[in-house]
Structure 1
């Protein structure tokens, strides 16, 4: 088989530390389906980890990229600027939560966006400490590994890590049984006693945790944290890298509780699959950094910017926030109706849905069965016991339902 031939080449050429979920190698993708080089199909409940929300080859994105490639591929915005970078920043300033004046800067990846948000917060406050949360994930660079909670596979053996990172308890309703205000009070008490409010540069949190298990904090947790952060003179940073761009049924997950972050980090779904990331926030904070303090050779690449503008236009035209709500309702209705003894919880918002199972072994069995029958699913969670579903927001109902049929059969097989 062609996939096996490519895999043998991979073994000889690619570093062993780079893993893959599927053993097959993809040739093309569309309509919520991936097709490998041997002609086998998988229904895609991953979307490249919430990246291809508008599809793997959205027509507007394809055309925008083609036009830009023909004009120029790179100049470096810091050397010879171009309009598309400015236009993406304008869109981010408009779409991110908060009616205040904003500025944006563009980068290459989610981890790079997080690093720059931390840089900006520390520069603005002249304070060192960054508060993050149990189960949080923020990237694979040295600083973002320090910000990330889970050891394997992200941190193990890669230390020492960046200093002045402090971890607070997350609101995890299934496990802690606390309402939002009580969970926030617990976290704030820890911060005040172990860090000191006057030392905190920023509180950094995913409004819904991604790799940590799609943990949705109890209502009131995020607003209470945001209020305390501002009262402390610190910067409230929402890591919306996985939750952003219509994924949760709104443009950004912070909006579900009316939270207006000081800074928002974005990536993944921003550009239809091309590498682009951003930091957007209050003008007073973003513009506090000296000229030349932010940037990067490839940050805001013109091709990625063109793709982002086409992606945002597609999201508006197709109302993909509403599509995410529709997909999420369809998934949760099917899974909740199972009354499956192994399902501890079905949770999430919009088309960012997860199922928590008893342990990693059971979860691995379900994943293996799904993959064998043509459904690509991902796992997550500190304990490796969560199935996460991130279908493209343009997935047709019939494809979604076929995927849910495979998933249902896989779940029922483990109960037997």
Structure 2
């Protein structure tokens, strides 16, 4: 079996060495140093061009450096960047009106990062549980799924399965019940096990777990159970949202409207940190002044950028593009799998997809395959050891998809 060892230029090595020397070692990047992006492409410091099949974990759904989004950011940055929420600004109200109408909710609480948005949703859910549902103070339980990924704050890793993210970071936050993903019976048993269930936090597709798509009907049944037991259905659509799966939201595949919706990543098209938590008044009105906030949350630049990013999704029909091209991509990947036993499974929805490589999770094979992809001009990254996520920007064309399928097959054939 061939191992891929791409020679690095001295220029790339110098940048990598600088990060290793001066930066905390909290990531293990592919050894590619990027300096430019446009649409579906990125270029490294030596001028080599690649297809981006990670899209910054689905943050750049609209493509790299989309001129409309960048233009909105530059224009606002030259006018007013930050007021804090101590004062009103002329961008936040229009954005709040736009985003709530866009997703069909009464109110939004703006934050900056996906993990912040998840933390915000957990706080809102607990406060609702005590003040509206009547759960005794400090007794609320929130149901979560095994193999979830909602971020890496102390509270979130408290209910993570990832021991690498948990070890030596305790003591952990209590108040969570963990159940298997895609298991309706387990959800109902948890909901009826106690009267203190505040909500159910779920990814419509588990991205970090290797693009695990639940059975048809799972989300709709879960929402119905939450209604039956008076618990909030909280959808973490930080990665699956904003057209990635072929619908505006992944829950829309089952006509589900969450009680709390968590958004991040592509809500800004990847040009600025923006996240949002949306809910109707019956839930969101539990939050009063001084009880939650962020200096940068809802800043004028974020507001202008998010409107532009969401307009691009709508005006360029990115949901429809993702739905159509997702089928093209999976069909092509399954054809490759029929010829190459290295792929044991293809799964995904829209343009959020993964291939499962025929090796153990602790093998280096998926990493070596991604190194070979990069050699041939395509960037992807393994997740959970033996799975490779394939998620290009949603502005990709059918011709480009077929070109990328050629790269993928050529790279895999090198390992036959």
Counterpart in 2 of 1:388?
Answer: 389
Counterpart in 2 of 1:317?
Answer: 315
| SS of residue in 2 equivalent to 1:264 | strand
After superposition, residues 326-337 of structure 1 pair within 5 angstroms as 326-337=324-335
After superposition, residues 208-227 of structure 1 pair within 5 angstroms as 208-227=205-224
Give distance in 1, aligned partners of 2:121 and 2:203.
13
After superposition, residues 17-416 of structure 1 pair within 5 angstroms as 17=26, 19-76=27-84, 78-96=85-103, 102-126=106-130, 127=135, 128-152=140-164, 154-171=165-182, 183-193=183-193, 196=194, 198-273=195-270, 274-338=272-336, 339=338, 340-358=340-358, 359-360=360-361, 361=363, 362-381=365-384, 384-414=385-415, 416=416
Q: CA deviation at 1:112?
A: 0.4
Counterpart in 2 of 1:178?
Answer: none
Backbone CA RMSD of aligned residues = 1.6
Give distance in 1, aligned partners of 2:95 and 2:390.
28
TM-score by length of 2: 0.90
User: Do the aligned residues in 1 keep the contact of 2:235 with 2:260 (CA within 8 Å)?
Assistant: yes
Counterpart in 2 of 1:179?
Answer: none
Give distance in 2, aligned partners of 1:157 and 1:88.
41
Give distance in 2, aligned partners of 1:143 and 1:11.
28
| SS of residue in 2 equivalent to 1:344 | strand
User: Do the aligned residues in 1 keep the contact of 2:41 with 2:64 (CA within 8 Å)?
Assistant: no
User: Do the aligned residues in 1 keep the contact of 2:72 with 2:304 (CA within 8 Å)?
Assistant: yes
Q: CA deviation at 1:294?
A: 2.5
After superposition, the C-alpha distances for 1:233-271 in whole angstroms (9 at most, x for unaligned) are 211100000011111111100010011110000001100
User: Do the aligned residues in 2 keep the contact of 1:31 with 1:396 (CA within 8 Å)?
Assistant: no
User: Do the aligned residues in 2 keep the contact of 1:249 with 1:321 (CA within 8 Å)?
Assistant: yes
Give distance in 1, aligned partners of 2:35 and 2:344.
37
TM-score by length of 1: 0.90
Q: CA deviation at 1:232?
A: 1.5
User: Do the aligned residues in 2 keep the contact of 1:377 with 1:387 (CA within 8 Å)?
Assistant: yes
| SS of residue in 1 equivalent to 2:166 | coil
| SS of residue in 1 equivalent to 2:91 | helix
Give distance in 2, aligned partners of 1:342 and 1:40.
27
| SS of residue in 2 equivalent to 1:65 | helix
Give distance in 1, aligned partners of 2:370 and 2:253.
31
Aligned length: 393
Give distance in 2, aligned partners of 1:73 and 1:25.
29
Q: CA deviation at 1:64?
A: 0.6
- 5+ long unaligned stretches in structure 1: 172-182
Q: CA deviation at 1:191?
A: 4.7
User: Do the aligned residues in 2 keep the contact of 1:95 with 1:251 (CA within 8 Å)?
Assistant: no
Q: CA deviation at 1:163?
A: 0.8
Counterpart in 1 of 2:5?
Answer: none
Give distance in 1, aligned partners of 2:209 and 2:96.
29
Give distance in 1, aligned partners of 2:254 and 2:296.
35
Asked if 1:2 corresponds to 2:3, the answer is: no
Give distance in 1, aligned partners of 2:219 and 2:378.
34
User: Do the aligned residues in 1 keep the contact of 2:233 with 2:258 (CA within 8 Å)?
Assistant: yes
Give distance in 2, aligned partners of 1:137 and 1:317.
31
After superposition, the C-alpha distances for 1:21-64 in whole angstroms (9 at most, x for unaligned) are 22222111113111111112221001111001111111111111
Give distance in 2, aligned partners of 1:408 and 1:363.
14
| SS of residue in 2 equivalent to 1:91 | helix
- 5+ long unaligned stretches in structure 2: 1-9
